[in-house]
Amino acid sequence: MINYGELLLRKESFSEIVIGNTAIVRAMIESGVRVVTSYPGSPTPEIATAIATIPVEKRPFYFEFSTNEKIATEIAYGASVNGHLSCVFFKSVGLNVAADTLVQLGHMNLIGGMVIVIGDDPGAHSSQNEQDNRHIAKLAYIPVLEPSSPSEIYTYFKAAAKLSKEKNMPVILRLTTHTCHQKELVNFDAFEPQHVDNTPLFDRSNGPYIPITASVFPMKRRALSRLNEVASDKFLKDLNVFINNNSKKGIITAGTTYLSVMDVLESVPDKPDIFKLALVYPLQLDDIVEFINLHDEVKILEELDNVIEQEIKTAAFDKGVKCSIKGKTDPEDFVGEYTPDKVREILSRDWPDIVKPAEKNSNDKPVPARPPQLCPGCGHRSAFYAIKKALKESDIKVGDIGCHTLGFLPPYNMVELLMSMGASTGIASGLALFNKTRKVVCFLGDSTFFHAGAAGIVNAIFNKHNITLILMENGTTAMTGHQEHPATGRNFDEITEKIPVKQMLEGMGVHKILEVDTYHQKKLTEAVIEAVNYEGFSVVIAKHPCMLKFMKAQKRKSDAPLKQVKIDQVLCDRSNECINSFACPSFYRNPDGSITINKDLCIGDGSCIQTCPVTAIKY
Amino acid sequence: MKKMNIYMTGVGGQGIGMLSEILVRAVNYAGYKLKAVDTHGLAQRGGIVVSQLRIGDGINSPLIESGDADLVISLERHEALRAMNSMLKNGGTLVWYDTSWQPLSVRTGQDAEVRSDDVSSVALKKNVRNLRVYRDNLPDTRMQNITLLSEIIKNSLISGLELSHCEKAMKELMNEKLFVRNLAVLKD
């Protein structure tokens, strides 16, 4: 088998097919990064998967999954002001959690340098919004480089690290879902490991590091002046791509949108000139205005918001540019990923003479939708099935982020509101005010409990909110790929002391805590009834290990065939409780209406057996 | 080299990721330049999972335009029809494994299950070469992806791609035990 750990450390140059999330790790190593931190979130967790291929004793940097993005950012900051080049990575909305600290970083003198890797998610493939984090970079005075491919992730990371070290300022590398997960053959350079200096170099004379009173304005002025320097940096200019097609029309673009533009224009005879920007904040406006001045008409194609467009139009106005500059003209231009389909749609609308619209697909026979669902054997399924029996339809159910979010789907409909990590207890507390008639129940996963959930719980106790929290404890960070968390007894590298959820709740002062394995459905129903009838803040810990993780471990241990369930067709009275209410995907409806088991799917957990009113499901 | 767009689909948990990774490495050994991308994250929980692979010279985006796939590979019947509808060129090729992982609305009886005939009739209309694969002697359902790979090689669906390229890729991606078992399926 291919040994990625060995490849990533190889001193000689080499080529390998990798995703962007793997390519970036080689760039970290070549750049001499000493500290890397993160909290798992799509599209970035595979960066840690690549890091894990390097045995800890050979890893040239320290890595940890911190309990949330803010803490991860603070650790990277602490390391940087001690002289170590650091890197923090997280998903788009993770930046909101980190923001309180992150917005200060541009003001600081980061003597070791620091690269902030953000995985934005245009298309909202696995996020609750499409937020364009270039806005926050502007707010925080931090430069942003935006690669379009794994090869560019590799080179831009190294450029970001170099810039950050030179100017002692943070630099953002803005990835998106389809740069993180894009695969191609990347040519990696040779490198010689540098001598590392572990001396703690923190010195307050490098500061100020205390952004209050008199120091705030000078720190802000320094941040602004560093941005000005970046805007004319020669080295960064060399990363831009200019394609001259001798056209009077031009396109300014960046990131993966550039790839879509190139593909859509491939069969076009009169191609516009193209200017692809590497640095998307601050803009190197002299070069951009020069490009615009060469053309009669320029189209700005950027994914999500019109961030570049606004700055370019301002500069063009100030310089009295004659060229017509076209940006976003329709609200739909702000929505969704700029895939080749989307770019074709926009270009054929704006330049119909050049780009033809796509032919419409005939959809002869529509196919039933396939929303994601809980895995076979998932403890959350048993939980939702049992909890539904304990609650009235009118009771209000608040969900949180994680696999259990999928409880919003039919037939459970057990999540009616969703916001952000750890938000459920706070939202539930608000819903409980003046409310004497409808019980309020909220859900929270165990990793999310540590991430941002605990503060909401403390508040509910402190301010005496009358709600029930159902803590869905599956012993892992399941949705993002089974990362450890503080209650699992392991961190990224080694065994560590468990911080049990139940003991934490007790320590916080929760008086009513009931703990039930979710496979004991009747007991769970009873526990939830008891908890919602309790006056005050109550918690039900609904626990069962993540069965996807469990089954993967089982399969590694043994090849023995699974003991699957079957349905006794004589006993079955076709009440369809199993498919309509419990709804494990392993049940199969035959054309004659009988139910059988899909042998590809059943893991033999047997959690369905208790749901059959006529005991027709058996081993 | 001539361009070719390959769209792979199935349901989370079926092994699309492994199939895609094998093909990506194998077409590289066959001498193609390539770009590829897989679905990760949320959809892997029982939703639709897609891998896209574009091979040949002058490819930029890993994403295939709607209706521009030359070859659709599907591990599941509903997804075979869905991808043929939206992604496959008229006159393209569909190779699919005939198993049904019923979506919820099919299990609850709200929607009709897609039948093998539905796939054939749409294929006929779109002038699509329709290669249905099913093996009842598979030692493990998780090897359904390799049966499709075997079909691709037997029918030379990717010009220049040979069994040896796939074998080399599989050796890099599987432990010895899995490699031996999957190779047997590939050669069957």
Minimum-distance CB partner of B107 among A17, A125, A587: A587
Structure tokens at A180: 């993180």
Cis bond upstream, residue A208 (ω within 30):
yes
Size of interface A-B (CB pairs under 8 A): 185
Residues in contact with B140: Cβ distance below 8 Å, sequence separation at least 6, in sequence order: B181
Centre a 10 Å sphere on the Cβ of residue A595 and count the other Cβ atoms it contains. 19
Yes or no: say if B97 and B147 are a contact pair by the CB < 8 Å rule: yes
Report pLDDT digits (tens) over A134-159.
999 999 999 999 999 999 999 999 99
Please answer yes or no on whether A2 and B172 come within 8 Å at the CB atom: yes
pLDDT of residue A111: 98
Yes or no: say if A186 and A155 are a contact pair by the CB < 8 Å rule: no
Q: Which residues of B touch A182 (CB under 8 A)?
A: 35-37, 62
Please answer yes or no on whether B58 and A266 come within 8 Å at the CB atom: yes
pLDDT of residue B2: 84
DSSP state of A453: I
Q: Which of A600, A602, A603, A608 to mutate against chain B (most B CBs within 10 Å)?
A: A600
Minimum-distance CB partner of B85 among A361, A374, A588: A361
Q: Which phi and psi (to 5°) does residue B186 adopt? A: -60, -40
CA atoms within 13 A on the CB side of A352: 1
Identity of the amino acid at A291: F
CA torsion through residues B67, B73, B79, B80, sign: positive
Q: Which residue has the tokens 């002046």?
A: A225
Tell me the angle at which helices A20-31 and A150-167 cross, rounded to the nearest 10 degrees: 30
Q: Which residues of A touch B171 (CB under 8 A)?
A: 1
Backbone Cα Rg of chain A: 27
- Measured between CA atoms, the residue of chain A closest to residue B60 is A259
Residues in contact with B16: Cβ distance below 8 Å, sequence separation at least 6, in sequence order: B8, B9, B10, B38, B39, B49, B50, B51, B75, B145
Please answer yes or no on whether B40 and A256 come within 8 Å at the CB atom: no
Please answer yes or no on whether A1 and B109 come within 8 Å at the CB atom: no
Minimum-distance CB partner of A375 among B46, B63, B104: B46
Please answer yes or no on whether B141 and A599 come within 8 Å at the CB atom: yes
Please answer yes or no on whether B107 and A585 come within 8 Å at the CB atom: yes
Q: Which residues of A touch B29 (CB under 8 A)?
A: none
Centre a 10 Å sphere on the Cβ of residue A558 and count the other Cβ atoms it contains. 7
Q: Which of B61, B98, B120 to mutate against chain A (most A CBs within 10 Å)?
A: B61
* Residue A111 to residue A126: CA distance in whole angstroms: 35
Chain B closest CA to A465's CA: distance in Å? 32
Conformational region of residue A156, where left means phi above 0, alpha means psi within -120 to 50, and beta covers everything else: alpha
Tell me the angle at which helices B144-154 and B16-29 cross, rounded to the nearest 10 degrees: 30
Q: Over 80: is that where the pLDDT of A362 sits?
A: no
Please answer yes or no on whether A365 and B36 come within 8 Å at the CB atom: no
| B43 closest CA partner among A55, A193, A124, A339 | A124
Please answer yes or no on whether A364 and B61 come within 8 Å at the CB atom: no
Mean pLDDT for each 10-residue chunk of chain B (188 residues)? 93 92 97 93 80 97 97 98 96 97 95 96 96 92 94 97 97 95 94
Q: What element of type H or E holds A295? A: none
Yes or no: say if A539 and A547 are a contact pair by the CB < 8 Å rule: no
Yes or no: say if A598 and B77 are a contact pair by the CB < 8 Å rule: no
Residues in contact with B101: Cβ distance below 8 Å, sequence separation at least 6, in sequence order: A585, A598, A600, A601, B11, B14, B76, B78
DSSP state of B46: T
Please answer yes or no on whether A263 and B99 come within 8 Å at the CB atom: no
- Measured between CA atoms, the residue of chain A closest to residue B81 is A367
Model confidence band, residue A562 (pLDDT cutoffs 50, 70, 90) = confident
Please answer yes or no on whether B63 and A339 come within 8 Å at the CB atom: yes
Minimum-distance CB partner of A585 among B25, B46, B172: B46
Please answer yes or no on whether B60 and A42 come within 8 Å at the CB atom: no
Residues in chain A: 619
Yes or no: say if B58 and B3 are a contact pair by the CB < 8 Å rule: yes
Q: What is the mean pLDDT of residues A306-321?
A: 97
Report pLDDT digits (tens) over A466-512.
999 999 999 999 988 899 999 999 999 999 999 999 999 999 999 99
Structure tokens at A260: 């879509």
Chain A closest CA to B81's CA: distance in Å? 7
- Domain encompassing residue B65: 4-187
Q: Which of A365, A378, A406, A575 to mutate against chain B (most B CBs within 10 Å)?
A: A365
Please answer yes or no on whether B61 and A359 come within 8 Å at the CB atom: no
Q: Which residues of B touch A259 (CB under 8 A)?
A: 60-62
Minimum-distance CB partner of B67 among A359, A410, A480: A359
Please answer yes or no on whether B46 and A372 come within 8 Å at the CB atom: yes
- Measured between CA atoms, the residue of chain B closest to residue A149 is B61
Distance of CA A327 to the CA centre of its chain: 28
Q: Which residues of A touch B111 (CB under 8 A)?
A: 368
ipTM value: 0.96
Q: Which residues of B touch A178 (CB under 8 A)?
A: 37, 62-63
Please answer yes or no on whether B109 and A589 come within 8 Å at the CB atom: yes
CA dist A539 → A388, A434, A522, B66 (Å): 16, 21, 17, 49
Q: Which residues of B touch A263 (CB under 8 A)?
A: 59-61, 65
Please answer yes or no on whether B66 and A361 come within 8 Å at the CB atom: yes
Chain A closest CA to B86's CA: distance in Å? 6
Minimum-distance CB partner of B63 among A340, A411, A480: A340
Q: Which residue segments constitute the domains of chain A, with CATH numbers given? A: 4-236 (3.40.50.970), 240-350 (3.40.50.920), 379-553 (3.40.50.970), 561-618 (3.30.70.20)
User: Read out DSSP for A455-498?
Assistant: HHHHHHHHTT---EEEEEE-SSBTTTT-B--TTTTB-SSSB---
| A388 closest CA partner among A581, A156, A120, A614 | A581
Conformational region of residue B91, where left means phi above 0, alpha means psi within -120 to 50, and beta covers everything else: left
Please answer yes or no on whether B111 and A368 come within 8 Å at the CB atom: yes
Chain B closest CA to A587's CA: distance in Å? 7
User: Read out DSSP for A577-612?
Assistant: HIIIII--TTEEE-TTS-EEE-TTT-----TTGGG-
Q: Which residues of B touch A587 (CB under 8 A)?
A: 107
Please answer yes or no on whether A259 and B67 come within 8 Å at the CB atom: no
Q: Which residues of B touch A183 (CB under 8 A)?
A: 24, 34-38, 62
Chain A closest CA to B137's CA: distance in Å? 14
* Residue A474 to residue A204: CA distance in whole angstroms: 44
| Mean pLDDT taken over chain B | 94
Give the count of domains, chain B.
1
Report pLDDT digits (tens) over A88-132.
999 999 999 999 999 999 999 999 999 999 999 999 999 999 999
Report pLDDT digits (tens) over A392-450.
999 999 999 999 999 999 999 999 999 999 999 999 999 999 999 999 999 999 999 99
Distance of CA A233 to the CA centre of its chain: 31
CA torsion through residues B118, A409, A380, A553, sign: positive
Q: Which residue has the tokens 């450390």?
A: A9
Please answer yes or no on whether A372 and B60 come within 8 Å at the CB atom: no
Please answer yes or no on whether A580 and B108 come within 8 Å at the CB atom: yes
Residue B141's CATH number:
3.40.920.10
pLDDT of residue B41: 65
Residues in contact with A330: Cβ distance below 8 Å, sequence separation at least 6, in sequence order: none
Please answer yes or no on whether B41 and A42 come within 8 Å at the CB atom: yes
* Residue A454 to residue A509: CA distance in whole angstroms: 12
Cis bond upstream, residue A411 (ω within 30):
yes
Chain A closest CA to B156's CA: distance in Å? 23
Q: Which phi and psi (to 5°) does residue B11 adopt? A: -105, 145
Minimum-distance CB partner of B48 among A181, A370, A403: A370
| Mean pLDDT taken over chain A | 96
Chain A closest CA to B167's CA: distance in Å? 12
Q: What is the mean pLDDT of residues A158-182?
A: 98
- Measured between CA atoms, the residue of chain A closest to residue B62 is A182
User: Read out DSSP for A367-380?
Assistant: -------PPTT-HH
CA dist A95 → A1, A102, A174, A474, A531 (Å): 36, 8, 11, 26, 35
User: Read out DSSP for A252-277?
Assistant: EEEHHHHHHHHHHHTT-SSPPEEEEE
Minimum-distance CB partner of A598 among B42, B101, B171: B101
* Residue B126 to residue B80: CA distance in whole angstroms: 14
Report pLDDT digits (tens) over A512-544.
999 999 999 999 999 999 999 999 999 999 999
pLDDT of residue A213: 83
